[in-house]
Amino acid sequence: MNLLFLGDVVSQCGCEFVRKKLPAYKRFAGVDLCIANAENSAKGNGVTPQSAQFLLSSGVDFLTTGNHAFRRRECYDYFDESDTILRPCNYPAGAPGQGVGVIDMGYVRVGVVNLMGTMYLDALDNPFHAVERALRELDDCRIVLVDFHAEATSEKRAMGFFLDGKVSVVVGTHTHVQTSDDCVLPGGTGYITDLGMCGAVQSVLGVKKELVIEKFRSQLPARFDTEETGPCAIEGCLFDIDEKTGRCRSAQRIRLT
Ligand SMILES: [Fe+2]
Ligand SMILES: [Fe+2]
């Protein structure tokens, strides 16, 4: 099974570029399942029902999120009602939506876990314990995919090795800069520390570069607007997973411009 996992889709230009490029790439690469992190897909950040639906009608099959999951109140009911979007599973009980999901592909059930790191992010439940609970919920799924939305590369690599041999794929999201360590870990788990971003290339993580420079120079609070012009790129990773064993055969990062 060919899985394409896309990094954080940022704002309108990122969504529109995905819609423009994804269908042809899926045919070219023989993609069976496409998942994208949608936590920044709405204009102005966060995710809205409209931005989620836009991606789901553009060739993305399933959505994960992260620390911006609950930025837009209009998405709270959508998180509760939809079975194609997750928020991190280590939020406190009572948070809208689910952190663990199942995609029924017919020939195989694919479990998905959305998880958030706690280094330099909100103090949620310890992700290493939370993921163990999540995997117990998915013990009937031969293929399990984990989106670990985290800031620290050390926390993400540690999670990759912790889950090596227990799940099919661990991807990192959140930092919006693609890493070059795409690989299959020794136990058969596909891994990359960060998938990267789908959005404006001439930006700082999708935000207008001038605003970010000014914030660093002045050290004063600043309003961040997303960059909506200029060239875009799609970044992510393509994994070939053996659906009989759940082991990953290959991992290859991609960048479409
Ligand atoms: Fe993000
Ligand atoms: Fe994030």
By DSSP bridging, strand 33-37 and strand 100-104 are unpaired
pLDDT at 248: 98
> 174 C-alpha vs ligand 1 centroid, how far in Å?
4
Token pair of 201, please? 């290339």
Token pair of 33, please? 């399942």
104 by Cβ neighbours in 10 Å (0-12 / 13-18 / 19+) ranks as exposed
Give strand pairing partners of 102: 111
Number of domains forming the structure of the chain: 1
Ligand nearest to the CA of 37: 1
> 181 C-alpha vs ligand 2 centroid, how far in Å?
20
pLDDT at 44: 87
> 89 C-alpha vs ligand 1 centroid, how far in Å?
17
> 121 C-alpha vs ligand 2 centroid, how far in Å?
9
What is the C-alpha separation between 12 and 226, in angstroms, rounded? 9
> 175 C-alpha vs ligand 1 centroid, how far in Å?
6
CA atoms within 13 A on the CB side of 164: 14
- Whether 174 sits among the annotated catalytic residues: the reply is no
What is the C-alpha separation between 246 and 189, in angstroms, rounded? 9
Catalytic one of 68, 149, 174, 176: 68
CATH number of the structural domain spanning residue 149: 3.60.21.10
Domain interval for residue 22: 2-256
Mapping DSSP to helix (H, G, I), strand (E, B) and coil, where does residue 31 land?
A: coil
By DSSP bridging, strand 197-200 and strand 232-241 are antiparallel
Question: How do the pLDDT tens digits run along the chain, 257 residues long?
Answer: 999 999 999 999 999 999 999 999 999 999 999 999 999 999 989 999 999 999 999 999 999 999 999 999 999 999 999 999 999 999 999 999 999 999 999 999 999 999 999 999 999 999 999 999 999 999 999 999 999 999 999 999 999 999 999 999 999 999 999 999 999 999 999 999 999 999 999 999 999 999 999 999 999 998 899 999 999 999 999 999 999 999 999 999 999 99
Per-residue pLDDT of 112-140, as tens digits, reads: 999 999 999 999 999 999 999 999 999 99
E strand or H helix that includes residue 34: strand 33-37
> 82 C-alpha vs ligand 1 centroid, how far in Å?
21
Per-residue pLDDT of 143-171, as tens digits, reads: 999 999 999 999 999 999 999 999 999 99
pLDDT at 88: 98
